[in-house]
Amino acid sequence: MGRESIVRHQNGLRQETQQTLRIDPRVILSSQLLQLAHPELEAAIENELMENPALERLGEESDELTRETILRTLAPRELGPSSDDREFLKSLPNDSNDTDWTDFASGEDSLADHLRAQLLTQLPPEQRGIGEYLIGSLDERGYLTATIEETALDCGCSLEEAQAALALLQACEPAGVGATSLQECLILQLRHDDSLEGKLARAILRNHFEDFRDRSVRPIMRHYRVLPDVVEEAFGLILALTPFPAEGYRTHAGSVRDPRGSAARPDIAFRRSENGWEITILGVDATTLFVSRAYLERQQRLTAMANAPRDEKAHVNEYVERAQRFIGALEQRRITMGRVGQYLLERQSGFIETGEYRFLTSMTRTQLARALDLHESTISRATMGKFVQIANGEVVPFEVFFKPALRVQKMIEEILAHENPNSPLSDERIAQMLAERGVVVARRTVNKYRDRTKLLSSRRRRSA
């Protein structure tokens, strides 16, 4: 995994071992496929089938493989005329191993792609895996879910390298991305504001957040000896910031913002049959893909040859290994999604069977990660922007399993949907009915959730 360097000194020879970070390409590919939702996964597979001639799908007719076919695909220079002409050489394809950043161009506004284009170009090749890891550890708000220690441990790098990569991520647009808290997110958005109000706003966020929350001007005015108008200006700067930097972007490729959209396609489907529960992972099955037999046979012949063409052998090996990695990553995605589905069925069977939100039990992504012995960022990739089809046929976003507030909101909606329009229920009565169903919340909490879902008060519902 590492490489050694010899350091010579005047007084002798000293050997130092330097560890060079090399993230396993299989890990990166598995993470990328895991975060794709059903439609985007199919697109990724089609793209890979077009780009990799060694990858085939069951039912596809493959042409007979000849040396000319391989060279035309993998080493076009071998078929071209030999020439020292400079213009001819300039016209040949560039075989540089440098990353082609146009590969990250996306037709949709994906936060992950947007950040890759900014962050990965600033990192040396051996540290780009850290950047991929950090981007994959962002939640739907744009906040970082992994600690620096976890990043260093999982990526096999030093804390300094992880911190340096995080600093570069937090310098990317949208401002505030990569923060671990609301305060840090807001401070990051003000990092370049050197005006008096901007500096004061940063100080308020760092040292007087409670005063800001309570809109208490006097303590801040006395502490920094500034006029009330200056404090109000600083408050105004803070209030103009966004607490969710990922808003307006799809968090991952394939993320869908509106769970009510008719285009939502589930990644996991639960169905109850006479034989019990069935969990189906939707999308292309890895067993339908395979490595081209012609390529495998050609690889074997080249391996057995004493003086096999170096370029041809390297390219054939590259595409065969790439196909094997892709199939393995696709199968790993199916296994991970299956484990997530099985855990949901064990913990949320009441909701999955009936679709009634009162049966939802409290659960977090951290709990799910610990139960499956996976990293929280892996669970985030497996669930963010994806949907589940429950037994009654309804398609719901994964978020319903991780947001307790949503359960209360849905129960309030159900209660109000069945109330007598001539005698609307008060918030206090709704709270009592929730308590009877095992959910204890205060009246003001009912009021807050009702406002959030734009449901009218009992007085206004009666007049309506």
pLDDT tens for each residue of the chain, 464 residues long: 444 444 444 444 444 444 444 556 777 888 888 888 888 888 888 888 898 899 998 865 444 455 555 555 555 555 444 444 444 444 444 444 443 433 333 344 577 778 888 888 888 888 888 888 888 788 878 888 888 887 887 778 888 988 999 999 988 888 888 998 888 888 888 888 888 888 888 888 888 888 787 778 888 888 888 888 888 888 888 888 888 888 766 544 443 334 333 457 889 999 988 888 999 998 777 888 999 899 999 889 888 888 888 888 888 899 999 999 999 999 999 999 999 999 999 999 988 998 887 788 878 888 888 899 988 888 888 888 889 999 988 888 888 888 766 667 777 777 777 777 777 777 788 888 877 777 676 777 677 666 555 454 445 445 44
Distance CA 88, CA 101 (A): 25
211 burial level (CB within 10 Å; 0-12, 13-18, 19+): middle
Contact 367, 67 (CB under 8 A): no
Please, how many CA atoms are within 13 Å of residue 432, restricted to the half-sphere of its CB? 5
Structure tokens belonging to residue 119 = 């962050």
CA 128, 253, 247: angle at the middle one, nearest 5? 100
Contact 351, 360 (CB under 8 A): yes
* pTM, entire model: 0.51
Contact 143, 151 (CB under 8 A): no
If one looks up domain 404-463 in CATH, what number appears? 1.10.10.60
Q: What is the pLDDT of residues 435-449, one digit of tens each?
A: 777 767 677 767 766
At residue 22, the 3 state secondary structure works out as: coil
Distance CA 332, CA 54 (A): 20
Structure tokens belonging to residue 442 = 């205060």
The Cβ of residue 335 has, within 10 Å, a number of other Cβ atoms equal to 11
pLDDT score for 462? 52
Q: Domain residues of the chain, as ranges?
A: 191-239, 404-463
pLDDT score for 401? 87
Distance CA 205, CA 188 (A): 11
Q: What are the C-alpha distances in Å from 204 to residues 143, 151, 186?
A: 21, 30, 11
Phi/psi for 173 (5° steps) reads -95, 145
356 burial level (CB within 10 Å; 0-12, 13-18, 19+): middle
pLDDT score for 73? 54
CA 116, 120, 121: angle at the middle one, nearest 5? 115
Query: Which DSSP symbol is given to 138?
Result: B
Contact 165, 131 (CB under 8 A): yes
Query: Residues near 106 by Cβ (< 8 Å), separated by ≥ 6?
Result: 113, 253
Q: Where are the alpha helices (DSSP H) in 209-268?
A: 209-213, 217-224, 228-239
Pairing of strands 55-57, 395-397: unpaired
Distance CA 340, CA 374 (A): 10
Distance CA 310, CA 312 (A): 6
pLDDT score for 86? 47
